[in-house]
Every structure is written in structure tokens, then in C-alpha cells.
Amino acid sequence: MNKCVFLDRDGVLNEDRTDYVYRIEDMIVPDGVVEALQLLKEAGYLLIVVTNQAGIAKGMYSREDVMQCHRHLQDLCGNLLDDIYYCPHHPDYDTRSLLRKPDSLMLEKAIAKYNIDVSRSWMIGDAIRDMQAGRRVGVRTVHITNDRQKPAVSDRQAPNLLEASRMVVSAVMA
């Protein structure tokens, strides 16, 4: 069985925006992200992105816009990502979907497709819904946050993906 790190996209792999990231010129990968992904790959993890893309349901952008961003993200990250799943739905605009985090169908599909051992896998995200989706399938979680004062909603907390990746790799070695 494979071990995996599930990754949220906006706010983890690229800078988040209040008005959505759906144009390649808005796809900004912070320092340390590529190094973090390389570290996880060297440790033997599959890297699978699971991202809500409600802007599709809201009519703000298209599925093709999302795919262009994902191709661009792969280019910026050295093609280290093994797969990218996205949910185009929002319950207030089109339909309720089990793909949409905090539900876990994106993760469940990847677990089945890639024969993933959840006991050796992680979810890294910047929102509580990411932690909830990870917990639903039984993976450990790392919350990307700079607010250490809030009660922990995850197994670990880190200020950025590089620190989160170091925690994941050292947890395995410990």
C-alpha cells in the first residue's frame, strides 16, 4: 500500500485570494513550497491535491480555467504532484456534493485509486474543513496557520507547507 500526503490548494500550495485563484497570472507559489514537495517525495509519499472550487458553481470561472491553473501549478512545482482532484460544486449555487470538503469523497476516490494506507498518510490544509475531511478518512492532519492561540483542530500545526512537510517526515522517522 502507498502512503500519501493530501494537500489543499489555495493557501497551501499557492497564495490564496479573496476573489478566487482561477487565472494562471494569479497562481503564486510561495517560497518553500517546491522544497516541501521534494522533501515529501523523497520520503516516498504520493502527493494528491484535493481542492474545493466553488467559483465554478457560482459562474465565476470554468472547469477549463481550473485545469489551466492546475497545469500551471504542476509546471511551477516541477511536476511533483501525482494527481489533482477538485470539487466544482457549492450547495448554495448548484448541488450538495460529497466531494466538497468537509466531506471526504475526493480523498476516498484517491485512496481507492492509489491503494493508499490511511494509517501512514496525512492531510495538510489551511481550513477546518480540510482537517474534517482528513479525519473522516482516518489520516493525520496538519493545519497551516499562524494563529497558535486557537484551539488545535488538527494533529499538528505549522506556519507553512515547508514546516508541515518537515513535521510529516520527522513523524515518520520518530
| Closest of 141, 27, 160 to residue 84, by C-alpha | 27
In whole angstroms, give the CA distance from residue 174 to residue 163.
Answer: 16
Strand order in the sheet with 4-7: 83-87, 46-52, 4-7, 122-125, 140-144, 156-158
Catalytic residue flag (residue 126): no
CB 133 within 8 A of CB 123: yes
In the chain, which ranges are continuous DSSP H helix? 33-42, 54-57, 63-76, 105-114, 128-137, 161-173
Q: Are 5 and 44 in contact (CB under 8 A)?
A: no
- State the catalytic residue, choosing from 8, 65, 103, 126: 8
The answer to whether residue 10 is catalytic is yes
Catalytic pick among 10, 65, 103, 126:
10
CB 130 within 8 A of CB 123: yes
Residues with active-site annotation: 8, 10
